[in-house]
Amino acid sequence: MKIIIVGAGALGVSVARQLALAGEDVLLLDQRGPGTGTSSTTFAWVNSYRRLDPDYHRLGLAGMEEHGRLAEQLGGARSYFPSGALQWADSSNEQWLADNVERLRTLGYPARFVTPDEATRIAGDLRIPATITRIAHFPSEGYVLPDRFVENLLTDAERHGAEYAIGRVVTIADKPDAVSVTLADGEVLRCDRVVLAAGRWSERLAARAGIDVPMVTGTGRGSPTVGLLGYARSPELDLRCVIHSPGLNLRPSADGHTVLQALDLNTHVDPDDPPPPDGDLARVLAQRFSALLPDPGERPRIDLRIGFRSLPADGHTIAGYASGQSRVYCLVSHSGITLAPILGRLAATEIATDQEQDLLRSFRPTRFTGTRRSDTGAGQHATRLGEQ
């Protein structure tokens, strides 16, 4: 089959690789470049921590396991780190953390409380504030370096025959006997299947094909799709795992750099008026980071970046054909980094073999059929310890 994949982020490149491995004729298109959309501005925490729906939790666990298998197959610089994660609670959220640990333990998810000394050995180069009253360790979690991850997947996909090209898709024509995409320059490309993995642009492209993929699409101040990340270039830290603290989330990056996330600041971010490097948000982020450094007097250098999440309307992944007659396979998730390996493999299997995969049964786009937007919306603002 000739298959065109729209979107070369983590999801699109993952399914492209799997389809190429299966011997399919694969063309991967992206309007800017691989990994330059949602995948370029993600905290990239690999977990199944807050998936309260049982089916979604199972999918998250499968995604975590698939990362380990995939890491053994891919070449290139290391991109997946099963480092574990720590959550530090103070008196205001200690009970919240305890309830989550208990819930996860009943599900068989590895979670345990640790002492500050043990947490320091796990975390590496950070200082645990005296206000922290409880610390939990989640040893099966980890993180990804997104740029390396996408690069490694794309390299392997091309090695197995997939083609990659820059091209902005403006319309998709979904017909019973064939499907085609039209590019911005007017070129029409015909194929047997289209995989729509265009991140936050997916709803708009799907609508032009007569397909309903309900998503949260606002990008203004206060929208749950908008997020702020800080990239600390200095000081260089020996940070060894993902950290969630009451005011700041941290994960290691390359060369001793650190990625920072303060969820409560996201509602103050206006993409039309980006926060300056010397503004209030930058100062708050720097102050919170400094408070965790071994030398709190050291002034960090932090670059700010605004990201936009790909957020289905009900918060759950979308994976499947738009209808029983459709040739367009929709793939959207706001947990793209955790789920990319498993979604890539399962989606490719469904496309190449027409065999339905049980793990994806609950995530079909057809679940929205006959529902109103007001019925599918979910509370999407992540502001508490361990939320994303």
Question: What are the tens digits of pLDDT across the range 47-96?
Answer: 999 999 999 999 999 999 999 999 999 999 999 999 999 999 999 999 99
Tokens of 368: 């929205």
Pairing label, strands 25-30, 2-6: parallel
- Can you list the alpha helix ranges (DSSP code H) found in the chain? 10-21, 54-73, 94-106, 116-123, 146-159, 202-208, 280-290, 336-353, 373-376
What pLDDT is attached to residue 375? Answer: 47
Long-range contacts of 267-272 (CB under 8 A, 24+ apart): 267/221, 267/222, 267/381, 268/221, 269/221, 269/226, 269/227, 269/228, 269/306, 270/220, 270/221, 271/219, 271/220, 271/221, 271/226, 271/306, 271/308, 272/220, 272/221
What whole-number distance in Å separates Cα of residue 237 and Cα of residue 348? 39
Alpha carbon separation from 198 to 21, 131, 336, 378 (Å, rounded)? 22, 43, 12, 22
Q: What is the 3-state secondary structure (H, E, C) of 36-59?
A: CCHHHCCCCEECCCCCCCHHHHHH
- The token duo for 318 is 């979308």
Using DSSP's 3-state secondary structure scheme, residue 321 falls into: strand
Beta bridge partners of 80: 144
Rounded CA separation 304/228 (Å)? 7
Report the pLDDT value the prediction gives residue 214, as an integer from 0 to 100: 94
Phi/psi class of residue 76: alpha, beta or left (left: φ > 0; alpha: ψ in -120 to 50)?
Answer: left
> Both tokens of residue 259?
């990625």
Whether 241 and 213 have beta carbons less than 8 Å apart is answered as: no
**In angstroms, what CA-CA distances link 71 with 9, 30, 68, 153, 265?**
18, 24, 5, 10, 34
Mind listing the pLDDT tens digit for each residue in 254-308? Answer: 999 999 999 999 999 999 999 999 999 999 999 999 999 988 777 899 999 999 9
Predicted pLDDT of residue 40: 86
Asked if residues 300 and 290 have their Cβ atoms less than 8 Å apart, the reply is yes
Per-residue pLDDT of the chain (388 residues), as tens digits, is 999 999 999 999 999 999 999 999 999 999 999 988 888 889 999 999 999 999 999 999 999 999 999 999 999 999 999 999 999 999 999 999 999 999 999 999 999 999 999 999 999 989 999 999 999 999 999 999 999 999 999 999 999 999 999 999 999 999 888 899 999 999 999 999 999 999 999 999 999 999 999 999 888 998 999 999 999 999 999 999 999 999 999 999 999 999 999 999 999 999 999 999 999 999 999 999 999 998 877 789 999 999 999 999 999 999 999 888 999 999 999 999 999 999 999 999 999 999 999 999 999 999 998 776 554 555 555 666 666 6
Cα distances (angstroms) measured from residue 302 to each of 14, 255, 257, 305: 31, 14, 10, 10
From CA 284, how far away is CA 333, in angstroms rounded? 30
Work out the number of other CB atoms within 10 angstroms of the CB of residue 369: 10
Q: What is the model's pLDDT at position 176?
A: 85
For the chain, how far is it from start to end, CA to CA, in angstroms? 37
